[in-house]
Structure 1
Amino acid sequence: MTIKLIATDMDGTFLNDHGDYDQERFANDYAALQQRGIQFVIASGHQAAELATTFSAYPEMWLIGGNGAELWQREAGLKAATFSPQATQQVLAALAPYPELQVALCGTQTVHVLAHANPQFVANMRDYYYQLETCADLTTVTDPVVKFDVICPAAMTEQLVYELTPKLAGIAVPASGGQGSMDLIQPGMHKGRALKQLGEQLGILPDEMLVFGDGTNDLEMFHYATHAVAMQNAPENVQANATAVTGTNVDDGVLDYIEQHILS
């Protein structure tokens, strides 16, 4: 197969369970991909601003952030689609009847959480996102919102997706990131859409793309790209939508696959 672009999810896919990766090994593989003219793209729920810091050593790398709402490259700058203020208020109103939820409003630079939110949730969000601010009331936030990050009891994840989908029809789409977490994204603003936009910009076709993922929020990428690889730690429904399965994120499954099937 002729591959001109490789895109990978971050958490549970490219990153290990400590939120890290083998930097020396990746640097070598990245250089080899560059020599072959193959683009390496990060496609994540993380903010593009944070991804840009994480991969600052690779200024030419394209980054898909906010689960597809952001597209960034140092020379090209940031393109971001955000919820309208009205839509943001409608989403918050739909979430209000669920006091067990922990909610973060994610802008292009800053993530907002309630000052009285669960301290562990706040600590986790501070670890996950580039810049975090607390506020007394999320409805007063004026920053344009890229997505909503929602943490819930694991047992209610599927039911919550089922209930919120019709309530937010045309406003936001629940995208589960695994048991206990989901993103509420703008309709049509998913990783697959951003990948399509980038491919058209770079002149790269779907059958020239190889993508990696472990969650349902990666499925739009799987459906767009011809070559889709699921992680061994991915749920069965994600693996069922892939054309191949590699090792786990803990075992550097992404780099293993690239080395064996692209660089060998």
Structure 2
Amino acid sequence: MTVKLIATDMDGTFLNNQGDYNRTWFAKIYAELRRRGIQFVIASGHQAVELIDFFKDYPDMWLIGGNGAELMNAEAGLTAETFSPEATQQILTTLADYPEIQIALCGTKTVHVLQHADPGFIADMGNYYYQLEKVADLRTVTDSVVKFDIICAPAMTDQLVYELTPKLAGIAVPASGGQGSMDLIQPGMHKGRALKLLGNRLGIRSTEMVAFGDGTNDLEMLRYVETGVVMGNAPMSMQTQGDTVTETNEQDGVLTYIENEILRK
């Protein structure tokens, strides 16, 4: 197999539990990948504008944000698919039946939360997203929404996905990020779709791609590529969904696989 593109999720996959990565090792690997003409792509639930800042040392890197709704490159700029204002209002009306959940509206630049939301939730969102705005009413937000970030009780996650799926059919799709969190994304907007668009743009087929992930929001991406690699820290139910399993994110599983299985071949 000739590899021309490598895509990886961020949290729980490329990043360790401290939210960082082995920068020295990655710099060497990235330089070798580019020398060989292999694209390295970040595919994350984070906003693309955050990703491009986080990886500012690699201006030629392609970035998929918003779990597939955003595609960005420093030279090409940002393209984004967003919910219609009507869809946003319909979703907020549906979510109003669940006062126990915490909601963040994620635009392409700003993330909006209720000013009276749980302080811990606001702090977490502030750590996860760069630009946070607190508002009195989410229904008054006029920013175009890429996705909804929802935090709930861990035991409630599966039931919430089960209930919201039919309620939001045709409007939004619940994508669990693990027990206690989920995104509501636009129908058909996922990392696999974004990889297909990017591949078409770059002239790279799915059979020339490898992808890494650890959560259910990575499934479409793992299934789209020739080799889907699941992290050793992923739940066992996820590990059976890929073609192979690598070391954990704490053991630099992505870099280990690239060096051993791609660069040494």
User: TM-score under structure 1 normalisation?
Assistant: 0.99
RMSD of aligned residue pairs (Cα, Å): 0.6
How far apart, CA to CA, are the structure 2 residues paired with 1:13 and 1:146?
Answer: 22
Matches within 5 A, 1:139-150: 139-150=139-150
How far apart, CA to CA, are the structure 2 residues paired with 1:135 and 1:251?
Answer: 40
Q: Who is 1:251 aligned against?
A: 251
Shift of 1:117: 0.5
How far apart, CA to CA, are the structure 2 residues paired with 1:198 and 1:188?
Answer: 15
CA-to-partner distance for each residue in 1:109-166, whole Å, 9 max, x for gaps?
Answer: 0000000111111001001012100000000000000000000000010000000000
Q: Who is 1:157 aligned against?
A: 157
Matches within 5 A, 1:60-209: 60-209=60-209
CA-to-partner distance for each residue in 1:155-184, whole Å, 9 max, x for gaps?
Answer: 010000000000000000000000000000
How far apart, CA to CA, are the structure 1 residues paired with 2:57 and 2:138?
Answer: 35
Identity rate of aligned residues, in percent? 70
How far apart, CA to CA, are the structure 1 residues paired with 2:236 and 2:156?
Answer: 19
Q: Who is 1:24 aligned against?
A: 24
Residue identity opposite 2:125 in structure 1: M
Shift of 1:239: 1.3
Shift of 1:236: 2.1
How far apart, CA to CA, are the structure 2 residues paired with 1:126 and 1:188?
Answer: 28
How far apart, CA to CA, are the structure 2 residues paired with 1:53 and 1:250?
Answer: 23
How far apart, CA to CA, are the structure 1 residues paired with 2:211 and 2:37?
Answer: 16
Residue identity opposite 1:215 in structure 2: G
Q: Who is 1:223 aligned against?
A: 223
CA-to-partner distance for each residue in 1:25-72, whole Å, 9 max, x for gaps?
Answer: 111110010111000000000000000000001010000000000000
Deviation larger for 179-188 or 234-243: 234-243
CA-to-partner distance for each residue in 1:208-243, whole Å, 9 max, x for gaps?
Answer: 000000000000001110110000111222211100
Deviation larger for 180-189 or 229-238: 229-238
Residue identity opposite 2:235 in structure 1: P
Q: Who is 1:4 aligned against?
A: 4
How far apart, CA to CA, are the structure 2 residues paired with 1:117 and 1:21?
Answer: 31
How far apart, CA to CA, are the structure 2 residues paired with 1:248 and 1:89?
Answer: 40
SS in 1 for 2:145: coil
User: TM-score under structure 2 normalisation?
Assistant: 0.99
How far apart, CA to CA, are the structure 1 residues paired with 2:258 and 2:19?
Answer: 20
Residue identity opposite 1:30 in structure 2: Y
Structure 1 unaligned residues grouped into runs of 5+: none
Q: Who is 1:42 aligned against?
A: 42
How far apart, CA to CA, are the structure 2 residues paired with 1:91 and 1:194?
Answer: 23
How far apart, CA to CA, are the structure 1 residues paired with 2:21 and 2:90?
Answer: 38
CA-to-partner distance for each residue in 1:244-264, whole Å, 9 max, x for gaps?
Answer: 100111110000000101112
Shift of 1:100: 1.0
Shift of 1:14: 0.3
SS in 1 for 2:183: strand
SS in 2 for 1:79: strand
Structure 2 unaligned residues grouped into runs of 5+: none
Residue identity opposite 2:161 in structure 1: V
